[in-house]
Structure 1
C-alpha cells in the first residue's frame, strides 16, 4: 500500500522542509507549487493524504479541496497563515479534515498527519476476526468501525474522514439531539460561536452520499429545526405489527 503524501505549497522552502520530515518517517512525497498542478495530481493519483496550502497561485486551496471532494475522499490537512475563525470554517466547509496555522512545527504536522491516518486506516488481521469487530448495525445502515467502512443497504459508501466521524458520532447515540456547537466541539475539536455552516455543509454532503444508494439510510439523519441534528432510529414498539 502506498504511503505517498502530496505536499502543496508555493514556497519551495516549506515543501522541502515538510519533505525532509515526512521522508524521515518513511513516507514518499510528491510536490506541487500551485493549485492547478495540485488538483491534476490529486485527481490522477491516490495519495494517503494531502497537505494543502490555502493561498496558492492558479487555484487557491479552498477551490482545490472543493473540486476534489466531488470525486475523491483523500484526507486533506489545510496549511495556512490565516488563523482567523472564518478561515477555519471555510477550510472545513471545502472538505478539509484538519487545519494547521503557519508558522507551524514540522513535527506537529507529522503528528497531526499520523493521527488523521490512524482514523482512516483499515483494520488489522486480528481485528478482522468476526468476534472482535467494532460494528454499529441498523436495518439500512452498517458501520464497521474496525475497517472504517460504511454500508447503506449493503452498498459501500465512500466518506471523507470528517463525514465518517460525524456519522459515527451521531450513530453511537441514536435519537439524541445534538446542537451545532456540540458537534463542532466533539467532531472538529474546536469551539466557534457564530457561523456554524461547517456542520450544515457536512450533514448535507453526508446525506447526499447516503441517498445515492439508500434513501432510508439518508433519512436517519434528521434535522431538528432550531436545535441541530440527530440520528433517528425507530424503537421496536413503534414498528408496525
Structure 2
C-alpha cells in the first residue's frame, strides 16, 4: 500500500484529500505546516508528497527545495489558480506535477496514481539499463561512452584527441607505443612529419592528470621507444 504525505494547512481540504486517498487504497499522513512537513518527509519514507505552496512559517517552495536536495520522491504541488509563478518555480526546482485549487478529489487521486506510475517506470528503466562501462586506475576514471574523464573524483575537460589518446593508453597499460604508432592509431594517418603533435598532446594530458606534470607517474616516457601508461 502506497503511503502519501499531505502537507496542507487547510484542515478541511487535508481531511477531504485523506478520505479520498483512503477510499482508493492509499495510506496517508497529514501535516499542517512547512517545518513539520519537511521533518516528516526526511524522517519517514513516503511514496509521494502532496505539498501545498501557501504554508505558514516555511512556505511550500522552500520545503520543496530542501526535500529535493535530500530525497528522490514524486512531489505534487498544490497551488491556487493565480499562483502561476509558483507553479513555474516549483517545476524548475524539481516538482513532478501540480494541481490548482479548487480541484476535484477524483482528479487529485488520478494525478497521484499517474505520478506514482511514472516514477516506478523510470526507476525500472534505470534498474534495467546497461551500466556505463568504465576504465579506471587509481584516481583516474574514464567513461568511454560519455567521453568523460575524472581525476580524483572531479571531471576534467578533454579535447577529442586528448581523450582518445588517454583512453588508448589506459586500455593498454604498461605497453610502450612509439610516437609513430600513436599517431597512426589516434589520428588515423601515416606519420609523415606530424608526429610532433603526439608529444604536444602527451604534455597536455600530463598537465590535466598528473599531480606533477614535470615528473609524471602515469604517462611515462620510455627514452628511445615512446610512451606508456603506468597505473
Are residue 11 (structure 1) and residue 34 (structure 2) matched?
no
Structure 2, unaligned runs of 5 or more: 135-141, 149-184, 189-231
Are residue 67 (structure 1) and residue 46 (structure 2) matched?
no
> Contact 2:133–2:144 (CA<8 Å) still a contact in 1?
no
Are residue 153 (structure 1) and residue 132 (structure 2) matched?
yes
> Contact 1:92–1:98 (CA<8 Å) still a contact in 2?
yes
**Alignment of structure 1 residues 42-121 onto 2, 5 Å:** 42-121=41-120
> Contact 2:133–2:145 (CA<8 Å) still a contact in 1?
no
**Alignment of structure 1 residues 175-214 onto 2, 5 Å:** none
> Contact 2:53–2:86 (CA<8 Å) still a contact in 1?
no
**Please, what TM-score do these two structures have when normalized by structure 2?**
0.55
Closer, same or farther: CA 153–42 of 1 in aligned 2, 3 Å? same
Closer, same or farther: CA 82–151 of 1 in aligned 2, 3 Å? farther
Q: Which of 1 and 2 has greater Rg?
A: 2
Distance apart, 1:153 and its partner CA: 2.9
User: Where does residue 171 of structure 2 map in the other structure?
Assistant: none
Distance apart, 1:83 and its partner CA: 3.4
Q: Secondary structure at 1:10's aligned position in 2?
A: coil
Closer, same or farther: CA 118–216 of 1 in aligned 2, 3 Å? same
Q: Secondary structure at 2:20's aligned position in 1?
A: helix
Cα RMSD over matched residues?
Answer: 2.9
For each residue in 1:170-223, what CA deviation from the matched residue of structure 2 results, as whole angstroms up to 9, or x when unmatched? xxxxxxxxxxxxxxxxxxxxxxxxxxxxxxxxxxxxxxxxxxx9697497xxxx
Separation in 2 of the partners of 1:34 and 1:18? 16
Separation in 1 of the partners of 2:123 and 2:74? 17
**Please, what TM-score do these two structures have when normalized by structure 1?**
0.53
> Contact 2:9–2:32 (CA<8 Å) still a contact in 1?
yes
> Contact 2:47–2:74 (CA<8 Å) still a contact in 1?
yes
Separation in 2 of the partners of 1:98 and 1:28? 20
Closer, same or farther: CA 39–84 of 1 in aligned 2, 3 Å? closer
